[in-house]
Chains A and B, each alone.
Chain A
């Protein structure tokens, strides 16, 4: 038994993780009897726990392996993404977190439809959520399949099936409570693993950062240039557009927004953002050290290179190889298991957010208005979870050999162009009307999708055309402008009776969003 453990450290660690998380799911399933507990873990997660869970949602395998891989390849440019992802957090904290907690119940559509007309707004919010969630899910599933193929030697489809199957179990039986604890455990493991790699790397340089960077610039073929901005962003339009998508996209990601309903009140919501920002910021500093560490310790070691001189498994494996270089088989096994756990935890959170959009927004409030009860709604959300899980497995297999790199970028663009503006303006702008929100939000959603399809990442990289029709990679500057202009224009010109009603409800809504008074009263639509 002990010999098996040492020889198969990655698989053993992974089995322990799965065993533990399945036990948590069993424990959580006994506490998940109502819709409230299914969507929000009963609102009993503390600020600290929620901070860890939020940081777990953010520290996906894509950001751990992807950003350290980008740093390994380009040096400084990896920092542009890290900072972009991080800067969304003060925005969420200052503008969104507390009003969201004070006005909503299970999903951000609760806030948007607080005074606006239920059906059209929830339909749009659910579309925005589902697009974001499914694009994110595909990217995670494809990444997971490929990663597990390399790390554990499992066939691609088997890896996708395992991830999809476990995720369905966690979410269907354990709801938000199990999903949150899986995310917390994984966040702790990942922070520990990344810290350990970084400490082991830096210890080789007596923790002298100057010596560390000297060694890296000596080894890398671009020399000193890796300390400067490279070609990731070459023109101002792309810079601003990417900046906007990263900064405001975070504040429109449904699986992140949903986490604010798991805490007791606005005070805890506030606290959770500070913890989350601290953990995520610390983590991004680690990925930067890991990327540079891999330049020094991995890029020249034949053990990690293929016949062409590239990294085995491509650049995203930089962190994994580095774990082996500094910590041998044991650390390699540990980090591989953590990477697998990370994927599981992130897809679970995404699926739960998608399921709540289907059951809470679409089923309960759009298609079956006033004719449903909480028990039925929870059944529907469990069916939706299974359906989304199967869809994720199916799409994961279909997209195996497709280029999915654009999908997370598109998810952020949609979140920034549809979900975020509707949420922000419904909280703060008195003159917002249903017509304005629906027209502006839909226009932004369509613009983001169309511009990405016509742009370089799909039109050229996926469809193999020689020239893109739309020249920029990142659509957010254009799609967000269209959304805000559309919402403004169609709101101020909306003279309907309903528009006046909506405006007259603003004062009371704003009072509640700022104070939380009235939150205990059941929200009945």
Chain B
């Protein structure tokens, strides 16, 4: 491959990586600070019970946030292996 082509691949890698990382990072930080923010500014929201159950909204959302955090790592690795790794291998073979 020519020098130019590997430079194009590298640019594509940087761009793709940014497109994958930015939204995931944004969701992580936003989700967490909304959670902490509610606790700091308006804790009573989290104290409300889910209709018909003796489980609070805070506990439900806390558990969901744990799941979300796990799924973010899962999604990143899935996308990185599928979209980034082939580009990295191509650049390496150059």
Residues in chain A within 8 A of chain B (CB atoms): 76, 79-80, 82-84, 86-87, 89-91, 93-95, 209-210, 213-214, 217, 224-225, 227-229, 233-236, 238-240, 242-243, 247, 267, 270-271, 273-274, 277-278, 281, 284-285, 511, 514-517
- Interface residue from A79, A278, A511 paired with B62 (Cβ < 8 Å): A79
- A285 and B66: CB pair below 8 A? yes
Residues in chain B within 8 A of chain A (CB atoms): 10, 13-14, 17, 21, 24-25, 28-29, 32-33, 35-41, 43-44, 46-47, 49, 53-56, 58-59, 62-63, 65-67, 69-70, 72-74, 76-77, 80-81, 85, 88, 91-92
Contacts of B44 in A (CB 8 A): 228
Give chain A nearest CB distance to B85 CB in angstroms: 7
Give chain B nearest CB distance to A40 CB in angstroms: 22
Contacts of A224 in B (CB 8 A): 47, 49, 54
- A225 and B25: CB pair below 8 A? no
- A285 and B63: CB pair below 8 A? yes
- B66 and A515: CB pair below 8 A? no
- A90 and B80: CB pair below 8 A? no
Give chain B nearest CB distance to A220 CB in angstroms: 12
Q: Give A236's nearest chain B residue, CB to CB.
A: B40
Rounded to whole angstroms, the CA-CA distance of A271 and B85 in the bound complex is: 13
Contacts of A514 in B (CB 8 A): 10, 13-14, 17, 88
Give chain B nearest CB distance to A82 CB in angstroms: 7
Q: Give B58's nearest chain A residue, CB to CB.
A: A76
Contacts of A94 in B (CB 8 A): 21, 24-25, 28, 76
Q: Give A92's nearest chain B residue, CB to CB.
A: B73
| A79-B59, A233-B40, A515-B88 as given contacts; A277 in contact with B32, CB under 8 Å | no
- B32 and A227: CB pair below 8 A? no
The listed residue with most B CB atoms (<10 A of its CB), out of A86, A93, A517, is A93
Q: Give A98's nearest chain B residue, CB to CB.
A: B80
Give chain A nearest CB distance to B21 CB in angstroms: 5
- B40 and A87: CB pair below 8 A? no
Rounded to whole angstroms, the CA-CA distance of A284 and B62 in the bound complex is: 11
11 contacts between A and B (CB under 8 A): A83-B32, A83-B69, A86-B69, A225-B47, A227-B58, A228-B44, A240-B36, A270-B77, A278-B70, A281-B66, A515-B10
**The 7 residue pairs across chains A and B that have the minimum distance between CB atoms:** A228-B47, A239-B40, A227-B56, A229-B43, A79-B62, A236-B40, A214-B54
- B69 and A270: CB pair below 8 A? no
- A80 and B70: CB pair below 8 A? no
Rounded to whole angstroms, the CA-CA distance of A224 and B43 in the bound complex is: 14
Q: Give B65's nearest chain A residue, CB to CB.
A: A83
- A209 and B47: CB pair below 8 A? no
- Interface residue from B29, B58, B73 paired with A93 (Cβ < 8 Å): B73
Contacts of B88 in A (CB 8 A): 514-516
Give chain B nearest CB distance to A513 CB in angstroms: 11
Rounded to whole angstroms, the CA-CA distance of A271 and B77 in the bound complex is: 7
- Interface residue from B28, B55, B56, B85 paired with A267 (Cβ < 8 Å): B85
Q: Say whether chain A's binding surface is mostly helix, strand, loop, or mixed.
A: helix
Rounded to whole angstroms, the CA-CA distance of A333 and B30 in the bound complex is: 43
Rounded to whole angstroms, the CA-CA distance of A235 and B37 in the bound complex is: 10
Inter-chain pairs besides A79-B58, A91-B28, 14 sampled, C-beta below 8 Å = A80-B36, A83-B35, A87-B32, A89-B69, A89-B73, A90-B28, A93-B76, A228-B58, A229-B38, A229-B47, A233-B36, A235-B40, A240-B33, A273-B77
Contacts of A516 in B (CB 8 A): 88, 92
- Interface residue from B46, B67, B80 paired with A228 (Cβ < 8 Å): B46
- B70 and A227: CB pair below 8 A? no
Give chain B nearest CB distance to A323 CB in angstroms: 23
The listed residue with most A CB atoms (<10 A of its CB), out of B35, B72, B77, B81, is B77
Q: Give B52's nearest chain A residue, CB to CB.
A: A210
Give chain B nearest CB distance to A22 CB in angstroms: 35
Give chain A nearest CB distance to B53 CB in angstroms: 5
| A227-B55, A228-B46 as given contacts; A87 in contact with B69, CB under 8 Å | yes
| A89-B69, A514-B17 as given contacts; A236 in contact with B76, CB under 8 Å | no
Give chain A nearest CB distance to B66 CB in angstroms: 5
Give chain A nearest CB distance to B91 CB in angstroms: 5
Rounded to whole angstroms, the CA-CA distance of A243 and B65 in the bound complex is: 14
- A95 and B25: CB pair below 8 A? yes
Rounded to whole angstroms, the CA-CA distance of A210 and B60 in the bound complex is: 12
Contacts of B13 in A (CB 8 A): 514-515
Rounded to whole angstroms, the CA-CA distance of A463 and B37 in the bound complex is: 32
Q: Give B13's nearest chain A residue, CB to CB.
A: A514
- A76 and B59: CB pair below 8 A? yes
Rounded to whole angstroms, the CA-CA distance of A238 and B73 in the bound complex is: 28
- Interface residue from A86, A274, A285 paired with B77 (Cβ < 8 Å): A274
- B49 and A227: CB pair below 8 A? yes
Rounded to whole angstroms, the CA-CA distance of A82 and B35 in the bound complex is: 12
Give chain B nearest CB distance to A431 CB in angstroms: 18
Contacts of A515 in B (CB 8 A): 10, 13, 88, 91-92
Rounded to whole angstroms, the CA-CA distance of A243 and B63 in the bound complex is: 17
Contacts of A90 in B (CB 8 A): 24-25, 28, 69, 72-73, 76
Contacts of A89 in B (CB 8 A): 69, 73
Contacts of B76 in A (CB 8 A): 90, 93-94, 270
Rounded to whole angstroms, the CA-CA distance of A437 and B43 in the bound complex is: 39
Contacts of A84 in B (CB 8 A): 32, 36
Rounded to whole angstroms, the CA-CA distance of A64 and B59 in the bound complex is: 19
